[in-house]
Chains A and B, each alone.
Chain A
Amino acid sequence: MLKQTEGSRAVAEAVAMCRPEVICAYPISPQTHIVEALGEMVKDGTLSPCEFINVESEFAAMSVAIGSSAAGARSYTATASQGLLFMAEAVYNASGLGLPIVMTVANRAIGAPINIWNDHSDALSQRDSGWLQLFAETNQEALDLHIQAFRLAEELSLPVMVCMDGFILTHAYERVDMPTQAQVDAYLPKYVPRQMLDPGEPVSIGAMVGPEAFMEVRYLAHAKQMEALELIPSYAAEFKSVFGRDSGGLTHTYRTEDAETIIVAMGSVLGTIKDVIDEMREEGHKIGVLGITLFRPFPLARVRESLQGAKRVVVLEKSMAVGLGGILSTNVRMALSGLHMHGYTVIAGLGGRAITKKSLHGLFRQAEQDALEPLTFLDLDWNMVNKQLEREKAHRRSGPVAENLLRDVGVVAARNY
């Protein structure tokens, strides 16, 4: 059924249709609307039976989810930014134990400096945690991916993170096609745990493993993720047959057929990029885009196959490997090893900096001329940067960077951390 609704609400309704038995949450912007909507559904009985637990921190949220998942209950939580970092130890624990928890990450920058706006630093900080990571481009895809996520998680007995851009998606009112309960029930079988705490057949979860078997346990975690590369396309195909639309999968290409320049990106910025590509195609530019839906496991073969015909690849990402360059681009380069082509890393949109069509037009044209720096920071204000660098040269005690820059631009920080 088509309806106009907030991204958070759409995701909450999709999660509810997956019949989670335990939901736990600690509020943090921009995740809060999702779990609040779920709380409301528990209260009015739309989501039942379901235990909704308001916990004292994200660390507790993930730990409660670990406990309930170990007891065999379908378990869900959501967080963002600082919350994801705070729960990190438990995030690794959940995947190490192989517990199929599904978590939404409403992507937001991490501090310091504290910032509530969107980028991908939070989720990408957990890229090696052993969770599967899916990135939604639209609200429709965000809700669809949650339905697929439960299926995947439970089949593989691995946790899945569904990432959606904070505010840009979570708070945007868009038209979405809401599935029916019957469709979701047809797609998502009842959860049959591979392992669970059962007094009838007692096991203990969480054994200490020494050098004699640790490598093998870790290898199996990797092998499981490799299995996901096979499963995901088939689950996406099955999804299409039940729900009638393409959603999920490993990657999505757009106008890449004869493209000499291919942009690679994740999340909602793909929409803006596609608009720019349409406009440039009108003018005869041979340009296209590869959207990464599955970031972990990283679909190396698919990415290579999609990009190998191009002359140059521009990875535009809302994240940064400080001291190296890009995170997504490092992964893409791995997929392209041995191929001769130009590769550019563009860091854009950190902490909510707008990525405008105008800037993208300029950027892509520069790339076509191979006139881009290998590592480019889109729309960076060099005056601001140089002023601070000079200040640091001039004074030993140059003071806190963030406060200095805010003073330079005459702005006071935002609310609702």
Chain B
Amino acid sequence: MESCAQTKKYAAKDYKSDLKPIWCPGCGDYTVLNAITRALAELALPPEEVAVVSGIGCSSRIPAYTSVYGFHGVHGRALPVATGLKLARPELTVLVTGGDGDGFSIGGNHFLHACRRNVDLTYIVMDNQVYGMTKGQASPTTAPDWEGSKLTPEGTGINPFQPLVVGLASGANFVARVSSSDPVNMAKIIVEAIRHPGFSLVQVLSPCVTFRPEQAEWRDIVRTAVVDVTDDAARAARRLMTDDGFNVGKVLYKGSRPPFRPEFENTNGSVAELEARFAL
């Protein structure tokens, strides 16, 4: 059936729900929501063919603010839920949204295996280097000397997690870093991420103005990365390991590994035919 969806035009607002976000004024996540809805409009995807899955955190509220299928699960489990969803309904476009805590601390193990498995998902991580929702504790991406949380009395003192490098090493098929201060470009990159087959990882520098007020400066610090996309994961990882984390706005890696997908066969035939096929 030729759907009229292919010709129908959508606007970003068609993907927004009527719930008003309760993020703090100035939170980076507002523009991420805008960019996601713009990207969906650009792709002209009918809302009922898109699902957004999240865990728990300020950033994990995105599903409630969209009009597409939404799933708000438990803390850290967004990726396996999305994997199940995509495998059961491969025709859906599945986005996973969440934070650095949800994705890299309590859900860190799933992150590694989602990259390895390379299911056709787009994972958008709003990285603010803090647990915003629980009022400001250090996350895996927090700098070791940040002393803003009482749970890390002397700073974490440990090496920050490098999501994109780890993602590349684990098999992510598409890697990009963007800034929430440039929603137009972010939307373009999300479009590419969705189009690219396999597991696409988009790290968004998305300030938490309440518990990391100094991150308001990010908009002035970020610069457009001067590298072109590569299909060489080692090269992309080397670049990322030597930059300061503020080179944004570009797709850094596009791989060509085929996505994980179960072999489906249409079963239009009768039960008797099926039985005959499996008979010994």
Chain A residues 19-49 with CB under 8 Å of chain B are: 25-29, 32, 35-37, 39-40, 42-43
Known: A416-B133, A416-B134. A57 touches B76 (CB 8 A): yes
B135 contacts across to A, CB distance below 8 A: 27, 32, 416
**A395 on the B face (CB < 8 A):** no
Q: Shortest Cβ distance from A415 into chain B, in angstroms?
A: 7
Known: A28-B134, A54-B156. A39 touches B140 (CB 8 A): no
Cα of A42 to Cα of B154 in the assembled complex, Å: 9
**B108 on the A face (CB < 8 A):** yes
Name the residue among B22, B74, B108, B152 with the largest chain A CB count within 10 angstroms: B74
B56 contacts across to A, CB distance below 8 A: 82, 114, 417
Decide if A54 touches B152 in the complex (CB within 8 Å): yes
Cα of A32 to Cα of B22 in the assembled complex, Å: 21
B133 contacts across to A, CB distance below 8 A: 415-417
A57 contacts across to B, CB distance below 8 A: 76, 105-106
Cα of A82 to Cα of B106 in the assembled complex, Å: 12
Closest to A113 in B: B72
Decide if A40 touches B150 in the complex (CB within 8 Å): yes
Decide if B153 touches A29 in the complex (CB within 8 Å): no
Known: A39-B153, A82-B74. A56 touches B106 (CB 8 A): yes
Q: Shortest Cβ distance from B103 into chain A, in angstroms?
A: 11
Name the residue among B19, B105, B106, B151 with the largest chain A CB count within 10 angstroms: B151
Decide if A43 touches B153 in the complex (CB within 8 Å): yes
Closest to B157 in A: A54
A27 contacts across to B, CB distance below 8 A: 131, 134-135, 137, 151
Contact among B19, B74, B108, B138 for A412, CB-based, below 8 A = B19
**A52 on the B face (CB < 8 A):** yes
B19 contacts across to A, CB distance below 8 A: 412
How many of B's residues come within 8 Å of A, CB to CB? 25
Chain A residues 367-417 with CB under 8 Å of chain B are: 412, 415-417
A25 contacts across to B, CB distance below 8 A: 151
**B75 on the A face (CB < 8 A):** yes
Q: Shortest Cβ distance from A170 into chain B, in angstroms?
A: 14
Q: Shortest Cβ distance from A167 into chain B, in angstroms?
A: 14
Closest to B104 in A: A56
**A189 on the B face (CB < 8 A):** no
Decide if A37 touches B150 in the complex (CB within 8 Å): yes
Cα of A393 to Cα of B56 in the assembled complex, Å: 32
**A111 on the B face (CB < 8 A):** yes
Cα of A52 to Cα of B151 in the assembled complex, Å: 8
Chain A 62-86 interface 0/1 with B at a Cβ cutoff of 8 Å (1 = within): 0000000000000000000010001
A42 contacts across to B, CB distance below 8 A: 153
Cα of A29 to Cα of B136 in the assembled complex, Å: 12
Q: Shortest Cβ distance from A202 into chain B, in angstroms?
A: 30
Closest to A32 in B: B134
Closest to B76 in A: A57
Contact among B75, B105, B108, B151 for A36, CB-based, below 8 A = B151
Decide if B105 touches A415 in the complex (CB within 8 Å): no
Decide if B156 touches A417 in the complex (CB within 8 Å): no
Cα of A27 to Cα of B137 in the assembled complex, Å: 8
Cα of A29 to Cα of B75 in the assembled complex, Å: 13
Decide if A36 touches B74 in the complex (CB within 8 Å): no
Closest to A413 in B: B64
Task: Identify the 4 closest CB pairs spanning chains A and B, nearest first.
Answer: A43-B153, A56-B105, A39-B150, A36-B150
Would you mind naming 12 contact pairs between A and B with Cβ atoms under 8 Å apart? Answer: A25-B151, A28-B134, A32-B135, A37-B150, A40-B153, A43-B154, A56-B106, A56-B108, A57-B76, A111-B74, A114-B56, A417-B56
Having A35-B151, A43-B150, one finds 19 other A-B pairs with CB under 8 Å, namely A26-B106, A27-B134, A27-B135, A27-B137, A36-B151, A39-B149, A39-B151, A39-B153, A42-B153, A54-B138, A56-B140, A58-B106, A82-B56, A86-B75, A111-B74, A415-B22, A415-B133, A416-B133, A417-B133
